[in-house]
Amino acid sequence: MSFQRARKAEQIQERRQEILDAAWELFVEGGLEMVTFSTIAMKISFTRQTIYTYYRSRDEVLLDLLGIHVKEFYEQIKQMFPKGEYVTQHEFCHRLAAHLLTHKNLLLLFSLHIMLEQNSRYENILVYKRIMYEAFPTFDAILHEQCPDTPDEAFCHFCITIMIYIGSIYPLLDQTPLQMKALREAMGGLEVPSEEETIMSSLTLMTASFHFVGDTLAGTSEQG
């Protein structure tokens, strides 16, 4: 009897994953408009109607997708700053900026997370919230090693700020030529910073009060 329950649970997970894999493929190919239960059904081994057994709405599918990719995003950040390797403030910001710029699809979903939550069931929202707030232990562990002399309060403020930043930055990275033309004109013809320059500037401000071991080591090396 227990074997049958386990088998059923395994089948449920497999079907959910099949739905999520198809939805992500559609999203990457054509954006949000491409992700519907009808288009998902064309890519999976069961019917559109069966999808409703696992998800009530498209937004629940997208919220689960967001949670999966946010988790991967944090895991990759951990790997970017291995223990025992100290970086300067500039290098810390540069690695984070590059990471953000290579995850624009994630940033788009992240910018919509409030809307997705509003159209999802509590259990889906709870799973996502738990994943999202893994940002705190992820960045806290990295910053405690990279900046051990920085007050804990500064780390807490950074974690809150970076989550808000990640959730709001996408529109700046997806402007049409017409929007860019209007922005240049609104700025009086000044040069519009590049995406990397914009993110680097923001991250530099967020970490301005941090004391990076890497900067101290770099200073010692220069003096030597």
CB 162 within 8 A of CB 134: no
C-alpha distances (whole Å) from 129 to each of 82, 132, 174 are: 26, 5, 26
- Does 42 have pLDDT greater than 80? yes
User: What digits encode the pLDDT tens for the residues 108-162?
Assistant: 999 999 999 999 999 999 999 999 988 899 999 999 999 999 999 999 999 999 9
Residue-level pLDDT at 190: 81
Residue-level pLDDT at 5: 42
User: What digits encode the pLDDT tens for the residues 58-99?
Assistant: 999 999 999 999 999 999 999 999 999 999 999 999 999 999
What is the 3-state composition of the chain as percent helix, strand, coil, each rounded to the nearest 5? 75, 0, 25
Largest CA distance in the chain: 73
Q: How does the average pLDDT of the chain come out, rounded?
A: 91
Residue-level pLDDT at 11: 84
